[in-house]
Amino acid sequence: MSEVVLGVGASHSTLMNTHWDEVADLPDAVAFRDGLQEAAGLVAAARPDAVVIIGSNHFRGFFLDMMPAVTIGVGECVGAGESGTPGGPLPVDTGLARHLVDSLLENEFDAAFSLRLQVDHGITHSLQYLVPDLDVPIVPVVLNMFAPPLPTLRRCHRLGERIGRAIASDGEAKRVAVIASGGLSHRLPWPKWFATFSDDDRFLVEAWLNGRASWSEYEVRRRQIIRAAAPDINSDFDRRFLDMLADGGLGEILGYDNHRIESEAGNGGQEIRSWVAMAAAVGPARGRTLAYAPIPQWLTGMGVAVLSVGGDR
């Protein structure tokens, strides 16, 4: 029987790769980087045989021509490599990945699967900083967090519970770490695909619909739109969520609908789904926040937290 040995949640931002010099002297940015390094040490100390990583996709692997709610990579997995994140083939634990899909289906939870999955920094940023040598096979789980309608937080929690059960029933003896990538509060200058009002809105929706074979051709203008955005960070929401995670009491947040999440934490705050699923996969555990800081230069409330099974806070 395999077991989950550690859970980690970490915010991501490609600006950490491309514009680090702008914040290198800021204590908050340094503290977040140090929190990532501490978490990486804890992942290494846990000696995982596999890492289940739950994250989002920013329209570089999934597009509006086909947008599943949940997708598990069971074969090839390739990093898009945007903004200095890992590109090219990533090692996949295909046996565990297939077992997760089969187990979910047997428990009436339909997940899409992919034998050739392209992921972006919604998956690879955390691998880059938490599993820097990329020598541990992964199981990528991609949740739709940006193209409404989105799976509810309760649904994501149930997904995490079933992932945890599947790991425990795989008939192996693997040590598995579960990593959540995304969030916390932030607002991207992204329209809803069905409500475009400006030229930038229409450009982005075109990129999201037609970019499957040419996503990189849209990248320059897309990056300019994001860099021009004003930060919208809700530190109170972030700290409250991290406290709930540490206390193991996510019940309150599970009642939030999409509108409430967006109104309090921005459209990027929808990425807490990965954290919710991770916590449910880990099960009863002690939590600890390693770092939190609102970093307006990255548009995001940046947090790192760990859940230690049966451990101390």
Question: pLDDT tens, 198-210?
Answer: 999 999 999 999 9
For residue 34, what are its two tokens? Answer: 């140090």
Q: What is the CATH classification number for the domain harbouring 86?
A: 3.40.830.10
How many domains does the chain fold into? 2
The answer on 296 and 167 residing in a single domain is yes
The answer on 221 and 245 residing in a single domain is no
The answer on 278 and 139 residing in a single domain is yes
Tell me whether residue 313 is in a domain.
Answer: no
The answer on 297 and 193 residing in a single domain is no
Annotation says 99 is catalytic: no
Q: Round to whole Å and give the CA distance between 81 and 49.
A: 24
Tell me whether residue 262 is in a domain.
Answer: yes
Tell me whether residue 169 is in a domain.
Answer: yes
Q: What is the mean pLDDT of the chain?
A: 95
Are the beta carbons of 218 and 82 closer than 8 angstroms? no
Annotation says 12 is catalytic: no
Asked if residue 310 has pLDDT above 70, the reply is no
What is the chain's length? 313
Tell me whether residue 14 is in a domain.
Answer: yes
End-to-end CA distance of the chain: 26
Q: Look up the pTM and report it.
A: 0.96
The answer on 246 and 113 residing in a single domain is yes
Asked if residue 270 has pLDDT above 70, the reply is yes
Taking only the tens place, the pLDDT of each residue in 3-14 is 999 999 999 999
Tell me whether residue 40 is in a domain.
Answer: yes
The answer on 217 and 145 residing in a single domain is no
Contacts with 270 (C-beta within 8 Å, 6 or more apart), sequence order: 145, 146, 150, 258, 261, 262
Range of the domain at 138: 3-188+235-308
Taking only the tens place, the pLDDT of each residue in 162-200 is 999 999 999 999 999 999 999 999 999 999 999 999 999
Exactly one of 12, 58, 99, 121 is catalytic; which is it? Answer: 121
Which among 197, 228, 259 is the end of a domain?
228
The answer on 289 and 213 residing in a single domain is no
